[in-house]
Amino acid sequence: MIGLFLNLLDTQSEKDKFIKLYDKYKNMHYWISYGKTQSCQDAEECVQETFFYVAKHFEKIGDVNSSKTKGYLATIVTGFSIDVYNKSKKYGRIDIENNNMAENLSYFDNIETVELSSAIESVLSEEEKIYIYLKYVYGYKSAEIAEIYNVTDISVRKKLERAKAKLKKYFEEETND
């Protein structure tokens, strides 16, 4: 299977780096995915989807051994796993009531990173966490996130808006207490 991914890469150094990446993270990805899907077959599918995506966007991969790369890959495989799990359980897509995206992250500028990270982990769903991390930590555009998870750009933006609203409400309640 790895041969298919290698065909997407141009240079031998990219191929060598990809092989190193694949060997280092394939088992970790499997267990992350299995933890979400509870299915060997679905977990394997998610791992393959992750590496296919990585091969297509290999320019975004830095040092294979860095924690940033590890986190990036874990975020991608978790997202694919949640998507596969939801499809297997026949969950419907989120309804979009409106497209008001005026709210941004400026509210969170004065909040410490540690506090924000803690709030993200405790307040948001897995899907919301992934979208927030991809958008604001890894710098993905909403359209790129939509492409990864096979949803509409509007859906991604709406989920980000709702996630930010949850965080804002959390911090407003903390301030009032």
User: pLDDT, tens digit, for every residue of 131-167?
Assistant: 888 887 777 888 888 888 888 988 999 999 999 899 8
- Note the pLDDT of residue 22: 93
> Residue 148 sits in a domain of what CATH number?
1.10.10
Span 98-113, mean pLDDT? 46
Q: Higher-confidence residue: 118 or 98?
A: 118
Please name the residue that has the structure tokens 């769903």: 125
Written as six digits, the tokens of 26 are 């394939």
- 144 exposure class (CB count in 10 Å sphere: 0-12, 13-18, 19+): middle
67 and 138 co-located in one domain:
no
| Structure confidence by residue, pLDDT tens digits, 87-101 | 776 543 333 333 333
pLDDT at 95: 31
Among 7-16, 19-28, 93-102, the range scoring the smallest mean pLDDT is 93-102
Question: Is residue 100 domain-shared with residue 87, that is, in the same domain?
Answer: no
pLDDT score, position 39 = 82
Query: In which band, very low, low, confident or very high, does the pLDDT at 108 lie, cut at 50, 70 and 90?
Result: low
Of the listed ranges 1-5, 41-45, 168-172, the least confidently predicted one is 1-5
Q: Are residues 157 and 175 in the same domain?
A: yes
Cut 0.85: pTM above it: no
Q: Quote the pLDDT of residue 91.
A: 44
pLDDT at 34: 86
Do 51 and 22 meet the contact criterion of CB atoms below 8 Å apart? Answer: yes
Both 71 and 136 in a single domain?
no
Average pLDDT over residues 44-58: 90
101, 86: one domain: no
What distance lies between CA 157 and its chain's CA centroid?
Answer: 14
Alpha helices in the chain (DSSP H): 2-6, 12-37, 40-56, 67-88, 113-123, 126-132, 142-149, 153-176
Whole-number Å distance between alpha carbons of 104 and 165: 10
How far apart, in whole angstroms, are the C-alpha atoms of residue 138 and residue 173?
Answer: 28
To the nearest 10°, report the CA torsion of 97, 76, 69, 164.
20
Is residue 176 domain-shared with residue 131, that is, in the same domain?
yes
Give the pair of three-digit tokens for residue 100: 């008001």
Look at the chain and report how many structural domains it folds into. 2
Listed in sequence order, the residues at least 6 apart from 150 whose beta carbon sits closer than 8 Å to its beta carbon are 83
At 30-47, the pLDDT tens digits run 888 888 888 888 888 889
pLDDT above 80: residue 76? yes
Quick one: pLDDT at residue 101?
Answer: 31
